[in-house]
Chain A
Amino acid sequence: MSKTETLLNTLAQKGEDALIGYFPAGYPTMSDSVEACVAMCESGIDILELGVPYSDPVMDGLVIQVATEQALANGFKLNGFFELLKEISSRVDTPVLVMSYWNPILQYGVERFAKDLKGAGGAGLITPDLIPDEATDWLKFSDELDLDRVFMATPSSSQERLNQVARLSRGFIYAVSTMGITGAREDLDAKARGVVSGVKSTTTKVPVCVGIGISTAEQVSEVNSYADGAIVGSVFIKAYRDGGVEELKKTVRKLKGGK
C-alpha cells in the first residue's frame, strides 16, 4: 500500500487531523524553498505538496500565481527540481507529493519524470489539469513505479466520474471543496461534504482529502470531521511572503492544532 495512504489511515485511527501543505519549489529561490518546505514538515504538516511553477496555472489564485511567477523569474528549472526534491526528502520523513500542470511533465517525458520523481524520493504526483481520461501514459508508469497519483473530484463531477477518479487514484483523492480556484475563502462550501460522500459511496479505500479555500484552524478541523485530510496552500505562501520561515512555522502549528 502507498506510504501516503498508510499514513492517512494511521492518523484517522488515532483520531488526529491530517494537514497537507502546499509550497512552490523555487519560491522565492531554490534554496529558500527547501528551507521553507523542511520547516513546514518539521512544524507539523503530514504530507508536503511540492508545486512545480508553471507559466499558465489556470487552477491557481493570485497568491500562488504571483509566487510561482517569481520562482520562474528567479530561474526555476526542472533540471534542478529533482535535486531539490531529493534534499527535502532526505531531511524529513514526510511524504512529498509533487503538484504539476501537465505540459512540463509532457516535455520532460512522462516516463523520465516518473523515474526521476521516484529516484528523488517523491511519493507521487498531483495533476490539476490531467483527468484520468487523458492519463494513459501516467497511469502506466505510476503503476510500474508504484507512485501515488492524485486526481481531482469536484462538486460538478458525475457519480460515474467520481467512480473513475476513486478507482484510479492512489495516495489520496483530491476533493475540490468549492467551484473555484485556490485561495482562502471565508465559508467553506457545503458542497465539499457532498463530494466527499460521493467518493466515499464508491468501493474505494483510498483516503479523500479536501482542498481549495481552506485558511483557518477551524476549517482544518471541520474538514477532518468528514474527510481524511485538509489541503492548505495560499495561506502558507502568504505567511512566508509576509513573515518568512518563522511566520510560516507559526501558521503550520496554528492550523495543525486546529481542534
Chain B
Amino acid sequence: MTAKTNLREQDGPYFGDYGGRFVPESLIAALDQLEEVYSQAKADPSFAKELDELNQTYVGRPSIITEVPKFAALAGDIRVFLKREDLNHTGSHKINNVIGQALLAKRMGKKRIIAETGAGQHGVASATAAALFGLECVVYMGEVDTQRQALNVARMKLLGAEVIPVTTGSRTLKDAINEALRDWVANVDDTHYLLGTVAGPHPFPTIVRDFHSVIGREARDQMLNDFGFLPDVVAACVGGGSNAIGLFHAFLDDEEVALWGFEAAGEGMDTMRHAATLSKGKVGVLHGAKSYMLQDEDGQTIESHSISAGLDYPGVGPEHSWLKDLNRAQYFGISDDEAMQALRALSQTEGIIPAIETAHALAGVIKYGSTLPSGATVLLNLSGRGDKDMETVGKYFGFLE
C-alpha cells in the first residue's frame, strides 16, 4: 500500500465482494426505508446535534484514554493506551450504536424495537435506549447465553424489556439473530430491528460502523493532542466486529498505523471449537451479507465456540472481510485461556477489570507486542467492563469455590 488510500470513504452495500442484501423480499422495503431515513439524518445538522448532546450528557463521551505501563511491560518494551469504552453508560461501546439507531427509529415513527444479544451488552444497551425514548423493546437471546449472562438478563428486565430465550439451533447469538429476523419479517410495519453489530444486510454494516466511528475519531484526536503522535498499532477484539471497526475506521487511511483484530480461538485454532471466522472461515452468506463465515462444505453454518458470549458468532461484518483481503488489517486468534490470563493481568497490574471479549485484544497485545520494535505504541479499544463476567471469571479462577 504505497499510494494514499481512501478506504474511509467506502460505504455499503458492498465492500469489495462483501456485503449486499441476501434477505427475504419482505425486508427490502424496511431496509430501503432505513437507508433513506439514515441518509436524510446524516444531511440534517439537528440529527448530529441531538446525537452529540446525548453522547455528552447521557453516554459520557468522550471516553478517556488511559496509558497502562505495568500492563505494557508484560508485552515487551512498548507503550499501551486504552480507549476506555468500558466507562460509557451501560459499560461498553454498544451504547454508541444503540442511541443512534433509536433516534432513527423515532424518525421512522417506529414504536417497537427488537434486538439480538450474545453477551447481553447490546441487549442491555437497547433496553436502556428503549427506556430513554419510550419504545417497546424485545430482546432475543440464545438460551445458552441467558444462562451464562444471567445478570444481564436481569438488567434488561429491570429496564422494562422483554427477553425471549431462543431455543432453536445452537441457542446462541446466531440463532438469536435468526429469531430477530423472523420477528422483523412479521412486524416490519411498526418495528425497527436494532442490529447490534456491523454484520447483517446493507445498510446495517455502514450505519452501525458510522455510529461507532466516534471511538476512533476521538481516540485519534486524543493521541495527537495529548501525546503528539499516532499509535503504531491499533488493536481490538472481533466478534461481529463493531468495536473494532469503530476504532479502526478513523485510522484506515493512516497507512503507517497497523490494524490488529483478535478473534476468539476458543479451545484452539486447530480444534473445531473456536470462533475465528476470518482466520479459519470461508466466504459465504449468513444473516443477509456475504462475508467470511464458519461453515461446512454444504454451506451449513458451523457452531462457533468461545468462553466469551459476545465473540461466540460464526460470522463477521463484511467490511472486516474486505480489510482482511486488502491486507489492510491483520486478524489473529486468541484462545479462551490466553484471554482469561490477560483479563486477570490487566485487573492486577492496572486495577481495570475488562470484559472477556475485550480480554482477547489484551491477550493479543501481550502475545504479539514482542514482535514490535522497542518503544512502539499500541492503542487498544477497551470495549467493555467485566462486571457481567464475574460468574465465569470466578469459576475459571476458582474464586467462587
Q: Please list the residues of chain A having a beta carbon within 8 angstroms of any beta carbon in chain B.
A: 54-59, 61-62, 65-66, 69, 72, 77-78, 102-108, 128-131, 133-134, 151-154, 156-158, 161, 165, 176, 179-181
Q: Of residues 182 to 204 in B, which have CB atoms within 8 Å of A's CB atoms?
A: 182, 185-189
- Tell me, in angstroms, the Cα distance from A153 to B168 when the chains sit together: 28
Q: Are A106's CB and B29's CB within 8 A?
A: no
Q: Are B297's CB and A165's CB within 8 A?
A: no
Closest chain-B Cβ to A12's Cβ sits at a distance in Å of 24
Q: Are B299's CB and A181's CB within 8 A?
A: no
Given contacts A55-B300, A77-B298, contact A179 B286 (CB under 8 A): no
Q: Are B301's CB and A134's CB within 8 A?
A: no
List B contacts of A103 (CB < 8 A): 284-286, 295, 299, 301
Closest to B301 in A: A55
Q: Does B333 contact A (CB under 8 A)?
A: no
Q: Are B185's CB and A59's CB within 8 A?
A: yes
Q: Are A131's CB and B29's CB within 8 A?
A: no
Closest chain-A Cβ to B195's Cβ sits at a distance in Å of 13
- Tell me, in angstroms, the Cα distance from A103 to B189 when the chains sit together: 28
- Tell me, in angstroms, the Cα distance from A72 to B170 when the chains sit together: 13
Closest to B168 in A: A65
List B contacts of A59 (CB < 8 A): 24, 182, 185
Give the residue of A107, A129, A179 whose beta carbon is less than 8 angstroms from that of B299. Answer: A107
- Tell me, in angstroms, the Cα distance from A217 to B182 when the chains sit together: 26
Closest to A78 in B: B298
Q: Please list the residues of chain B having a beta carbon within 8 angstroms of any beta carbon in chain A.
A: 20-26, 28-30, 168-169, 174-175, 178, 181-182, 185-189, 282, 284-288, 295, 297-301
Q: Are A156's CB and B21's CB within 8 A?
A: no
List B contacts of A69 (CB < 8 A): 168-169
Q: Are A106's CB and B284's CB within 8 A?
A: yes
- Tell me, in angstroms, the Cα distance from A69 to B167 when the chains sit together: 12
Give the residue of B21, B181, B284 whose beta carbon is less than 8 angstroms from that of A133. Answer: B21
Given contacts A103-B295, A107-B297, contact A176 B25 (CB under 8 A): yes
Q: Are B299's CB and A161's CB within 8 A?
A: no
Given contacts A55-B169, A56-B169, A134-B21, contact A108 B298 (CB under 8 A): yes
- Tell me, in angstroms, the Cα distance from A107 to B28 when the chains sit together: 24
Closest chain-A Cβ to B182's Cβ sits at a distance in Å of 5
Closest to A155 in B: B26
Closest to A60 in B: B182
List B contacts of A158 (CB < 8 A): 29
Closest to B296 in A: A107
The 5 closest A-B pairs by CB, nearest first: A107-B299, A156-B29, A104-B299, A180-B186, A103-B299
- Tell me, in angstroms, the Cα distance from A130 to B288 when the chains sit together: 9
Given contacts A131-B21, A131-B23, contact A156 B299 (CB under 8 A): no
